[in-house]
Amino acid sequence: MDSQGSEKGQFRRQIGPIGLFCISVSSVLGSAWLFAALFAAQIAGPAAILSWIFASGGALLLALVFAELGAAFPVAGGLARFAFFSHGTLVGFASAIACWLAYVCIAPIEVQAVIRYLADDLPWLLQPGTAHELSARGVAVAAALLLFFSVVNGIGIAWMSRLNIILTCWKLVVPVVVPIALLGVSFRAENFTEFGGWMPFGWNGVFSAISTGGALFAFLGFRTAVELAAESRNPQRDIPFALIGAVAVTTLIYLLIQVAFIGALSPADLAGGWKNLHSQVTAGPFVGLAMAAGLAWLAKLLLVDAVISPGACGLVFTGATARLLFAMGKNGQIPRAFTALNGAGVPALAIGLNFLIGLLFFMPSQTWQSLVNLISSIMILSLAFGPPALVALEHSAAEVPRPFRVPAGRVLIPLSFIIANCMIYWGGWQTNALCLGVLAGLLILFTAWKQAKGALTRKDYEGLYWVAPYLAGLALVSAFGQFGGRHSLSGGLDYLLLTGLSLGVLAAARHWGVDPRACRKRLEAGKNL
């Protein structure tokens, strides 16, 4: 096999640093930039700007963790494999299934964003009299878009990467042009102080907007580069560059977008307060503002971008989701058939299954914001397995070279875990009850299945010694907390409990990691994959 890994049945290392960076950027600048500024403002008012700052800070800390993991262990579907390497089959399954449940929804969500923006000019895409439900022809268009993502990914990673680089160049320009144009012709500084003031819903509004307003959903796309690490030419160098660079660049863009959105709103838009923004804005946030400002050319540009930005994001996530199923097959968590690669070095069966499941998300009554709220919590939960995996692998895989290390790791790794758990908490009890309940239920079923086959070791069970208390602790704090819970935890007690839970779980995860010999065996089996 040559240096590019071109032998049939192997992943091909064909993605360079720019391609990997564009994959992460494209995953962050998807439908969120078209909608999240509106939803964040409805939840937090002008202080939504703080929501973006906190969300990007949390994403950056997690990006540092996964930059170290991805550079040290550049395998396909990394988020499904790191916890498997560090804590065995059961913990690995919990991490992998949480990640897959989030990922498999992304491409359909991006397609829904395209449909929603185009529906004003193409009303036949929606059922008459509804704002979100797809018509029969709308479902056909949505399915065709999803099929296109699958076909491009099936052709090969090089084709997907090249197409995505072109689309990402567009995606970096339009989200900058739009807010600058609005700032130039329609900016009202009083919007930041009137209509309830700078922080009309307090700090709870700021924190809620992170998880339920789309800010967190946007930034967590940075990690797709990790899933494609086995196809990077130089993952040790390029993964940290892609992850950290993507978060840094898109943070500036999202802050500009949020400031411009708030400043461009008219008094009529805000007449009913932040929670009840005018329907002209909510139908297509930036299109409505552009038309109100007399910028017809900008509205047309937005309609074109409403296809390109979500489309490119869906394209990337289609490939990343397939690598997750591949990794789960390698872990022995699903049938090995999903590890088969076609002649282009792509897990085609995994792409096909994800396409079929994606079609289910075009059923009635699913909206962009309702799906984003649910997915944000499950996505951050899957990322929260990163810090425990990293601290355990520092012991069990100490001999593995670390081309990149988290700076001030003794402080920032625990801090990243604490913030991740706070972000899960901000998602609200109703959402977390569903996410944690589904994850716990699937883990119990998987454990019973593996136990019946006699395929579990003592170390596999020991991983549950910290995962079970961790999930239970998150559920209890959320149930009695201030975000949809019973409001029994006040005066910072909720955050004190989350901090104690996080530090205790990290210590337990370090102690209950697999032994170095078992870890080396798993790493060897996953080499070059």
Helices first, then strands: H and E counts in the chain: 23, 0
Q: What is the reported pLDDT for 283?
A: 58
- Burial class of 9 by CB neighbour count within 10 A (0 to 12, 13 to 18, 19+): exposed
Cα three-residue angle 338-102-85, rounded to 5 degrees: 60
Task: Write a three-state SS string for 251-312.
Answer: HHHHHHHHHHHHHHCCCCCCCCCHHHCCHHHHHCHHHHHHHHCCCHHHHHHHHHHHHHHHHH
Q: What is the reported pLDDT for 1?
A: 33
Q: Would you state the structure tokens that stand for residue 113, as one six-digit string?
A: 């964003």
Assess if residue 11 is contained within a domain: no
Q: Which residue has the tokens 């897959």?
A: 100
Which structural domain range is residue 286 located in?
17-525
Cα–Cα dist 160/231, whole Å: 12
Assess if residue 130 is contained within a domain: yes
Collapse the DSSP code of 134 into the 3-class scheme (helix H, G, I; strand E, B; otherwise coil) and give the result: strand
Assess if residue 5 is contained within a domain: no
Q: What is the reported pLDDT for 256?
A: 95
Task: Write a three-state SS string for 392-433.
Answer: HHHHHCCCCCCCCCCCCHHHHHHHHHHHHHHHHHHCCHHHHH
Assess if residue 4 is contained within a domain: no
The answer to whether 255 and 37 are in contact (CB under 8 A) is: no
The tally of domains found in the chain comes to 1
Least Cα distance to 486 among 525, 443, 445, 429 occurs for 429
Assess if residue 305 is contained within a domain: yes
Assess if residue 423 is contained within a domain: yes
- Burial class of 520 by CB neighbour count within 10 A (0 to 12, 13 to 18, 19+): middle
Cα–Cα dist 127/54, whole Å: 38
Rounded alpha-carbon distances, angstroms, from residue 126 to 117, 121, 129, 248, 372: 11, 11, 8, 37, 20
The b-or-e profile of 251-284 (16+ CB within 10 A means b, else e) is: bebbebbbbbbbbbbbeebbeeebeebbebbbeb
Cα three-residue angle 13-15-16, rounded to 5 degrees: 115
The answer to whether 423 and 216 are in contact (CB under 8 A) is: yes
Say how many Å lie between the first and final Cα of the chain, rounded. Answer: 14
Assess if residue 510 is contained within a domain: yes
The answer to whether 211 and 50 are in contact (CB under 8 A) is: no
Q: What is the reported pLDDT for 268?
A: 85
Cα–Cα dist 332/521, whole Å: 14
Cα–Cα dist 228/320, whole Å: 7
Cα–Cα dist 264/460, whole Å: 55
Question: pLDDT digit string (tens) for 293-336?
Answer: 888 899 889 888 888 888 888 888 898 899 999 999 988 899 98
Cα–Cα dist 176/431, whole Å: 33
Assess if residue 7 is contained within a domain: no
Question: pLDDT digit string (tens) for 216-261?
Answer: 878 888 888 898 888 888 988 999 999 999 999 999 999 999 999 9
Q: What is the reported pLDDT for 279?
A: 56
The domain that contains 357 carries what CATH number? Answer: 1.20.1740.10
The answer to whether 125 and 119 are in contact (CB under 8 A) is: yes
List Cβ neighbours of 140 (8 Å cut-off, separation of 6 or more). none
Percentages of the chain per state (helix, strand, coil), in multiples of 5: 75, 0, 25
Cα–Cα dist 429/408, whole Å: 33
In the predicted model, residues of the chain with pLDDT beneath 70 are 1-9, 129-132, 278-284, 363-374, 525-529
User: Which alpha helices (H) appear in 343-492, and where do they start and end?
Assistant: 348-358, 368-383, 386-396, 409-426, 429-452, 458-462, 464-480
The answer to whether 522 and 84 are in contact (CB under 8 A) is: yes
